[in-house]
Amino acid sequence: MQHIRAHVLVCAGTGCKSAGSKEVELAFQREIKAQGLADEVMVVETGCHGFCEYGPLVIVYPEGTFYSRVTAEDVPEIVESHLLKGRMVERLLYHEPMTHEMIPKYSDINFYKKQHRLVLAHCGTINPEQIEEYIAVGGYEGLGKALTLMTPEEVVEEVKKSGLRGRGGGGFPTGLKWSFAKQSVNDKKYVICNADEGDPGAFMDRSVLEGDPHKILEGMAICGYAIGADEGYIYVRAEYPLAIKRLRVAIEQAEAMGFLGENIFSSGFNFQIHIKEGAGAFVCGEETALMASIEGKRGMPRPRPPFPAVSGLWGKPTNINNVETFANVPQIIVNGADWYCQFGTEKSKGTKVFALTGKINNTGLAEVPMGITMREIIYDIGGGINNGKKFKAVQIGGPSGGCLPEELLDLPIDYDSLTAVGAMMGSGGLVVMDEDTCMVDVAKFFLNFTQSESCGKCTPCREGTKRMLEILTRITEGQGREGDIELLENMAKNIKETALCGLGQTAPNPVLSTLKYFRNEYEAHIKEKRCPAGVCEKMAVYTITDKCKGCGLCAKTCPVKAISGTLKQQHVIDQAICIKCGACMSVCPFKAITKG
Partner 1 sequence: MKTLEDLKALREKLKGDIKVRQKQGTKIIIGMGTCCIAAGAREVMSAVLDELAVRKLNDVQVQQTGCIGMCEKEVLLDVIRPDEPRITYGNVKPADVKRIIADHVVNGRIIEDLVVGKIEQEG
Partner 2 sequence: MDMVTLTINGQTVKAKKTSTVLEAARAAGIYIPTLCYHPELSHEGACRLCVVEASGARTLVASCVYPVAEGMIVETNTPKVREARKLVVELLLANHPKDCLSCQKSMDCELQTIAAELGVRKIRFAGGEMKAHTIDAGNPSLVRDQEKCILCGRCIRACSEIQGMDVYSFAGRGFHTIVSTAFEQGLEKVACTYCGQCASVCPTAAIVEKDDTDKAWAALADKTKHVVVQTAPSVRVALGEELGIPVGEIVTGKMVAALRRLGFDKVFDTNFSADLTIMEEGHEFIDRLTNGGVLPMITSCSPGWVNMIELKYPELLPHLSTAKSPQQMFGAVAKTYYAERAGIDAKDIVSVSIMPCTAKKAEAVRPEMNSSGYQDVDIVLTTRELGRMIREFGLDFASLPEEDFDSPLGKSTGASVIFGTTGGVMEAALRTVADVVTGQNLQQIEYKAVRGMETVREATLKIGDSEVKVAVVHTLKAAKAMMERVKKGETEYKFIEVMACPGGCIGGGGQPVPVDADVRRARRDALFTCDEACSLRKSHENPEIIELYSTWLGKPLGEKAHHLLHTKYNQQKRN
Q: Write out the residues near partner 2 by the rule CB under 8 A.
A: 281, 298, 300, 302-303, 305, 451-460, 462-467, 470, 487, 490-491, 494, 496-500, 505
Q: Residue 569, class by beta-carbon neighbours within 10 Å (0-12 exposed, 13-18 middle, 19+ buried)? A: exposed
Beta-strand (E) ranges in 410-466?
A: 429-434
Query: 194 and 168 in contact (C-beta within 8 Å)?
Result: yes
At 529 the three-state DSSP class reads coil
195 binds, among partner 2, partner 1, none (CB under 5 to 8 A by kind): none
Among partner 1, partner 2, none, residue 259 binds (CB under 5-8 Å by kind): partner 1
- Which DSSP letter does residue 498 get? H
Q: How far is the CB of 149 from partner 1 (least distance, A)?
A: 7
Rounded distance between C-alpha atoms, residue 503 and residue 451, angstroms: 10
Identify which of residues 336 and 550 has a Cβ nearer to partner 1 in the complex: 336
Q: Closer to partner 2 at the Cβ: 305 or 559? A: 305
Closest CA to 236 of 224, 251, 255: 251
Q: Which is nearer to partner 1, 266 or 387 (CB)?
A: 266
- 305 preceded by cis ω (within 30°)? yes
Question: Which among partner 2, partner 1, none contacts residue 136 (Cβ within 5 to 8 A by kind)?
Answer: partner 1
- Give the x/- contact pattern for partner 1 in 50-69, rule: CB under 8 A: -----------xxxx-----
- Of partner 1, partner 2, none, which one does residue 144 interact with (CB within 5 to 8 Å by kind)? partner 1
Return the residue of 18, 34, 39, 436 that touches partner 1, per CB under 8 A.
39
- Contact indicator for 159, 329 with CB cutoff of 8 Å: yes
Residue 268 interacts with partner 1 (CB under 8 A): yes or no: no
Query: Rule CB under 8 A: which of 195-254 touch partner 1?
Result: none
Rg (Cα) of the chain, in Å, rounded?
27
- Smallest separation, CB 268 to partner 1 (Å): 12
Residue among 52, 181, 264, 501 that touches partner 1 (CB under 8 A): 264
Could you say whether residue 135 binds partner 1 (CB under 8 A)?
yes
93 contributes a contact to partner 1 by CB under 8 A: no
Q: From CA 553, how far away is CA 573, in angstroms rounded?
A: 13
Q: Which does 6 bind (CB under 5 to 8 A by kind): partner 1, partner 2, none?
A: partner 1
Beta-bridge mates of residue 193: 234, 321
Sign of CA dihedral 486, 491, 494, 495: negative
Q: Binding to partner 1 (CB under 8 A): which residues in 138-157?
A: 138, 140-141, 144-145, 148-149
**Min separation Cβ 77 and partner 1, Å:** 15
**Which lies closer to partner 1 via its Cβ, residue 252 or residue 410?**
252
DSSP string, 218-273: HHHHHHHHHHT--EEEEEEETT-HHHHHHHHHHHHHHHHTTSSEEEETTTTEEEEE
The pairing of strands 429-434 and 351-358 is parallel
Q: Toward partner 2, which CB reaches closer, 24 or 292?
A: 292
Min CB(62)–partner 1 separation in Å: 4
Q: Restricting to residues 3-32, which ones interact with partner 1 according to CB under 8 A?
A: 3-7, 9
Q: Give 76 or 170: the residue with its C-beta nearer to partner 2.
A: 170
Under a CB-based contact definition with an 8 Å cutoff, are residues 211 and 47 in contact? Answer: yes
The SS3 of residue 446 is: helix
Minimum CB separation of residue 42 from partner 1 in Å reads 8
Please confirm whether the linkage preceding 76 is cis (ω < 30° from 0).
no
**Hey, is 578 helix, strand or coil?**
coil
CB 470, min distance to partner 2, A = 5
Binding of partner 1 by 38 (CB under 8 A): no
In the complex, minimum distance from the CB of residue 170 to partner 2, in angstroms, rounded to a whole number: 11
Distance CA 43, CA 41 (A): 7
Peptide bond into 508 cis (omega under 30): no
Give which of partner 2, partner 1, none residue 566 binds (C-beta under 5 to 8 Å, depending on kind). Answer: none
Choose the one of partner 2, partner 1, none that binds residue 463, judging by a C-beta under 5 to 8 angstroms depending on kind. partner 2
In the complex, minimum distance from the CB of residue 176 to partner 2, in angstroms, rounded to a whole number: 16
User: Strand order in 318-322's β-sheet?
Assistant: 261-264, 269-278, 231-237, 190-195, 318-322
By the criterion CB under 8 A, which residues form the site for partner 1? Answer: 1-7, 9, 39-40, 61-64, 83-87, 125-126, 132-133, 135-138, 140-141, 144-145, 148-149, 257-259, 264-266
